[in-house]
A and B are shown apart, each in its own frame.
Chain A
Amino acid sequence: MLITLPAESQKSAHIRIALNGEHVDVSFAPYKTLLEILREDLSHTGTKHGCELGECGACAVLLEGKPVLSCLVLGVECDSRNILTVEGLGLEGHLHPLQDAFADLGAAQCGYCTPAILVTAKSLLDEHPQATRDQIRAALSGVLCRCTGYLQIFEAVEAAMVKIAEQNAAAK
């Protein structure tokens, strides 16, 4: 028996985005969210989902450097835009200082919210290289973590901040 493809599975929408610094073309069903496109059409499964309703924050990615919940962004809105996911955090084969600090300081337990927290923290530190504990708390308050109790996450962000400052000073 031949099966008729449902209309919505037809990949009629098309965008070109800069994903982690690389230009990619992707065709997809027009109802799809950025989250779905990343995971299902671009095989970038580093970005997670916990509710797909904009409640848990696990799907955060950076859109033009700012954290957005990718489950609430339609793919068709993203044409010609810059997107950064956890897969793009590391530099030239090295972990980003945030990744190093999270790994060393117990900031990732199950690791499920970690990608979202990492990119959100990166956005914060890009804007506030000397963020206070309160700024870190506030910036991360949209991403739920059920494992850590957040404290080791705060400490890891602060440790990374010091490391980034050192790297920047050395580069000057």
Chain B
Amino acid sequence: MPNQKYTPDRPAKDSQANGEELRVIGVPRRRVDARAKVTGQTRFADDIFLPRMAHCKLLRSPHPHARIRSIDASRALAHPGVYLVLTGKDLPIEYGILPVSQDEQALCVDHVRHVGDPVAAVIAREELTAFEALDLIDVDYEILTTISDPEEALATPEPRIHDYGEEGNIHKRVALEFGDVEKSFAEADEIFEDIFFYQGSTHLPIEQHAAVATKDPDGKLTIWSSTQTPHYLHRALAKVLNMPPAHIRVSATPNGGGFGGKSDPFNHEIVVAKAALLLDRPVKICLTREEVFYCHRGRHPVLMKFKTGVKKDGSITGMHLQTLIDGGGYGSYGVASTFYTGALQTTTYHIPRYRFAGCRTFTNKPPCGPKRGHGTVQPRFGQEVQLDKIAEKLKLDPAELRLRIVEAPNTVTANYLRLSTVNLSECIRRVVKISDWKEKFRKLPEGRGVGIACSAYLTGAGLAIYWNKMPHSGVQLKLDRGGGVAIFCGATEIGQGSDDVLASIVAEVLGIDTFDIRLFTGDTDLGPVDLGSYSSRVTIMAGSAALQAAERARELLAEAVAIRLEVPKEQLRFADKHVFDSVVPERRVPFHEAVCLAEARFGTIGTVGSYTPPKSPALYKGGGVGPSPTYSYTAAVVEVAVNPVTGWITVPKIWIAHDIGRALNPPLVRGQVEGSVYMGLGEALMEEQEFRRLPKKLSHALVHKFPSMLEYKSPTSLDMPEVVTELVEEPDPRGPFGAKEVGQGPLLPIMPAVANAVYDAVGVRIDEVPITPEKIMKALAEKRAGRDPRCGPSHFPHVDWPEALRVPPPWEGGDGNAVNDVPRPSKPRPEKEKVLSS
């Protein structure tokens, strides 16, 4: 079997399967799982019904912050139909998605940290019985002071929500400086200081989280769950259940929407696993919609302060960004989120010197985590709105200003992110053209306006959640005598089309049809590890692994067919379910015969592929967040209509251009762009994860303001504007067939473009998300009163920042290390580790 080193950096043209012409890639196609979806046959977790299956419900804390003095479950246990009650002491081992934040317990042992934190589980014959029995569990709580936001957290070190972190209720503080930013401000012609607030929002997948666990006949554990990260759930289960990982099988069922909300290992998953093992029968849980709001892990509310120095021509001399982040009750991905609020500022425009300080606090609210655009959405909003203000002050067209300062391709940024292809300029030019920008900007009648904004996003995180040197994705292929090809991979289908990505790449290389392929994905027993559907990593990572596996299979088939047809194997082409001589195309064998020839020659035909991201030049501590094999770029123009009397805001049309590298299946790519636009618009205009205190005479508890879909407003089909999508396709040498990400990047420019369009329409700045009629009215009132025509935060609280790690940028002689920290040598990996087994 071929066993060559795989180089992800090779030119895209070499990774094209059959040279000149692509037959599957880039062709609009029905996705491989479409039939299942339109017939209702996609099996989501809650669609699994097993014989003898019991049902689980969780008792959740009604208090935002309390000690548990005691739990008495005896009445619940005696309730007819109840099989089992679990409490914290049954599952005491702490876990969490990040190795540095192992701060969750499946059921709280002695400390609840937000309303909705689970304290006990009832497993019963009927779901309703389990629900009834929750009322029979007596929990004695000692109420603790509630900490409701980061300012309170900074001011209230005691009681601590967690006994780890920086100090008091500060979870994580980071400070990084790339070049002398004060000097860059001294060199600037103008300095801009702006404070922005980005409200939290939640994913709101239509499918509620669900999981079914069962003890297999051989005593092992199987769990089906709507998770985006079966591999990480696998690890958490092994830890908390104290079981060998080899005895646990996690099968990620297709997710009914994820958007980042199903990326953590969850308490309910661990609870049903434990219950199934104890009861020796299948146990299911399906969360209610209210519980999904308590799971959360959504967008962090972030207060931001930007100080940016610019020259008269618009070039940026330096930027100083501070972020204060509301983390909620647990760590989740929060340490990564904190770094992400400062990581990608340098990827769109050239920023020669940059300082970032971020602080995440714990608060007594459901934990925040990764939502589409993870941590980068909030500062992108601030940066892009501030750029609009800069353009106005410098009397430059905001599109023109951006074009002047776009970062160059193949650059290493001030904070050591290595960019590959950068087609942001082309994106800007496209949206300017198709939106008729020059005829609209500052020219539309009062109440109408246009705004522009841009963004960049990771095509896969460069590092895994836990430190290891293994590949980020693996694919196995099995070819059978009938011409069937099976793909085995841990990649998880969350609606984005990951199965179709795998199938299309393999089909292209082997010259077969995507519907000739069977997929076994998202299952820790059936396929090699893929880290999960997060950070827009599946297309590049699982896709590249699939490409390698398919190329290896093609090599085997080509060798066998070359002998049969008596032609050099380099002369063979794979297409239309045949292997043929490119010189005399009539000389050919059907694909299934090619497999038989290869099997006769080499034995059973199976190949593997794997993918490891390229090493990042960012060697400083914290440099692990932000690197990616390549970045996608997006520009958007949003048109708004604002009623100056009521503040009512509508969005009639959006133009968006996305630098995708290559669209593997254009309708799916368009769907990701439009879905991102939709979700961004929801955040821009209406979505809020908001909390309020109950009256003192009740409990004064901090509760979710509206944990229901009716009151948590999200855009309906009536709210969706017309969207014109343009795809910019310059194949990126680092992506399979040149593809970059599309699932998250197109969300980012929407919110700032709306804010900028509101300013164009009615001359007020809304420096806050969401941009609601109330805020517009408030700003209009300020404008009429002759004050600053603005609505937004006015101060950034004092944070005791640590001394910044000082990393000189590449153009100031830096090597990627901090000068005031222990250097980390950039040693190349030993050759033997690079070799992939096959």
Contacts and interface: CB of A to CB of B under 8 A. Distances in A.
A9 B124 CA distance: 12
A43 B206 contact: no
Given A103-B30, A152-B667, A3 B40 contact: no
A141 B717 contact: yes
Contact of A153 (B39, B129, B708, B717): B717
Contacts of A150: 678, 717, 720
Nearest to A111: B37
A90 B35 CA distance: 11
Interface stretch (B211-219, B491-499, B540-548): B491-499
A9 B126 contact: yes
Contact of A103 (B34, B81, B255, B679): B34
A9 B49 contact: no
B527 to A, nearest CB: 20
Interface string A43-54: 101111111110
Interface string B21-33: 0000000001101
Contacts, number: 200
B70 interface: no
A28 interface: no
B37 A151 contact: no
A69 interface: no
B30 A109 contact: no
A104 B254 CA distance: 19
Interface string B245-273: 00000000011111100000000000000
B125 A3 contact: yes
Interface string A104-141: 11101111111100100000000000000000111011
Interface residue range, chain A: 35 or more
Nearest to A152: B671
Contacts of B125: 3, 5-6, 9
A146 B204 contact: yes
B205 interface: yes
A85 B39 CA distance: 10
B440 interface: no
B289 A51 contact: yes
A108 B668 CA distance: 10
Interface string A28-57: 000100000001100101111111110110
B35, B38, B256 interface centre (most CB from chain A within 10 Å): B38
B361 to A, nearest CB: 29
B208 interface: yes
Contact of B35 (A98, A103, A109, A151): A103
B81 A4 contact: yes
Contact of B720 (A100, A112, A149): A149
Contact of B254 (A43, A89, A111, A151): A111
A147 B126 contact: no
Contact of A149 (B47, B255, B259, B674): B674
A151 B715 CA distance: 13
B420 interface: no
B625 interface: no
B718 A149 contact: no
B674 A148 contact: yes
Nearest to B256: A112
Contact of B39 (A6, A52, A99): A99
Contacts of A106: 31, 667-668, 670-671
Nearest to B47: A45
A95 B81 contact: no
Interface string B168-191: 000000000000000000000000
Most chain A C-beta atoms within 10 Å of own C-beta, residue among B35, B40, B41, B667: B40
A64 interface: no
Nearest to A56: B709
A25 interface: no
Contacts of A105: 667
Given A8-B128, A51-B708, A152-B670, A108 B38 contact: yes
B254 A148 contact: no
B interface secondary structure, majority: loop
Given A51-B708, A106-B671, A149-B678, A114 B38 contact: yes
A87 interface: yes
Contacts of B583: none
Contacts of B495: 109-112, 147
Interface residues of B, number: 62
Contacts of B720: 137, 149-151
A58 interface: yes
A62 interface: no
Contact of B37 (A100, A103, A141, A146): A103
Contacts of B675: 109, 146-149
A73 interface: no
B723 A149 contact: yes
Contacts of A144: 204, 206, 709, 714, 716
Contacts of A86: 38-40
A52 B674 CA distance: 28
B37 A3 contact: no
B126 A8 contact: yes
Nearest to B711: A55
B36 interface: yes
A170 to B, nearest CB: 23
Interface in B657-676: 667-668, 670-671, 674-676
Contact of B256 (A8, A110, A142): A110
A31 to B, nearest CB: 8
A114 B126 CA distance: 28
Interface string A71-109: 000000000000001110110000100111011111011
A49 B289 CA distance: 10
Contacts of B838: none
B207 interface: yes
A71 to B, nearest CB: 11
Contacts of B258: 110
B81 A111 contact: no
A148 B41 CA distance: 19
Contact of B207 (A112, A149, A152): A112
A99 B81 contact: no
B36 A111 contact: yes
A4 B79 CA distance: 9
A100 B494 CA distance: 21
A109 B40 contact: no
A48 B679 contact: no
Contacts of A85: 40
A45 B203 CA distance: 24
Contacts of A4: 80-81
Contact of A111 (B42, B259, B670): B42
B492 to A, nearest CB: 12
A52 B289 contact: yes
A140 B719 CA distance: 12
B718 A110 contact: no
A103 B698 CA distance: 51
A104 B288 CA distance: 33
A109 B257 CA distance: 8
A145 interface: yes
A111 B32 CA distance: 13
A105 B255 CA distance: 20
A136 to B, nearest CB: 8
Contacts of A103: 30-31, 34-35, 37-38
A34 B669 CA distance: 37
B710 interface: yes
Interface string B405-446: 000000000000000000000000000000000000000000
Given A31-B128, A103-B34, 6 more contacts: A9-B129, A40-B49, A48-B206, A112-B42, A137-B718, A152-B667
28 contacts: A5-B81, A6-B81, A6-B126, A9-B125, A9-B126, A9-B128, A46-B41, A49-B46, A50-B206, A50-B207, A51-B208, A58-B206, A85-B40, A89-B39, A103-B30, A108-B34, A108-B37, A109-B671, A110-B37, A112-B495, A146-B675, A147-B671, A148-B678, A149-B676, A150-B717, A151-B722, A152-B667, A152-B674
What 4 pairs across the A-B complex have the smallest Cβ distances? A46-B40, A110-B495, A111-B37, A112-B256
